[in-house]
Structure formats: C-alpha cells, structure tokens
Amino acid sequence: SAQIITGSHFSQTYRLGYKLLIICKARGDPRPTIKWYKEGAEIQPKASIHYYEKPIENDTIWSKLEVDPATMGDQGVYACVANNPHGVMAKNFKAEYTY
C-alpha cells in the first residue's frame, strides 16, 4: 500500500507575503503518486501555487507544495494524499498566518 513516511510538521505558520512550504514523502510498491488538497479540494497550480515532485529510488516519491507569496486566503487545512493501486493514505497540515 501507499505510506506517507515523512512530512512537514502538522502545524505550519507562515508570514503574509512570504512563502508557505509543505513537504511530503511517500513510499509504496508500485511507487505512489502524490496529490495536494486544500479544504478537501484538489489544488490546481496557479501563479502563486506550485508543486514539485521527484522520485527517489524505485518505491519513494518526494513532493513539495509552495505558495509564494502566501496571503490570508491561503490559511486552512492542506492534505498530502499518496495513492497507489493497493491503497491511499493522507496526511493533514494546518496552515495559519502571522504578521
């Protein structure tokens, strides 16, 4: 099955106008895919939101979600969802802004 093996801390604080960065790593056979969600909806890349992923070895994938610059509207609950034919696993992150 797909297992999330490491990631950012559950609670993320970001400064308005700066970068919000969340990292997730998953392992499985076959290698899982990772998708990012916010408040239950799949995140679509746009000008301020990007995600990058890179395979590591045969069974692991590393993914990074970047929101830059982050605004008040970017706070909320994000989820990294790892998926392969044998199963799915999610890890939630709570992002809150600070001044």
Domains of the chain, start order: 3-98 (2.60.40.10)
Q: Residue 80 corresponds to which tokens in the numbers above? A: 């990294």
| Burial of residue 26 (number of CB atoms within 10 Å: 0-12, 13-18, 19+) | buried
The label of the residue with tokens 């990631």 reads 7
- On whether the CB atoms of residues 63 and 7 are closer than 8 A, the answer is no
Structure pTM?
0.92
Give the Cα separation of 48 and 73 in Å (integer): 12
- Tell me the pLDDT of the chain (99 aa) as tens digits: 899 998 898 999 999 999 999 999 999 999 999 999 999 999 998 999 999 999 999 999 999 999 999 999 999 999 999 999 999 999 999 999 998
- Identify whether the C-beta of residue 95 lies closer than 8 Å to the C-beta of residue 22: yes
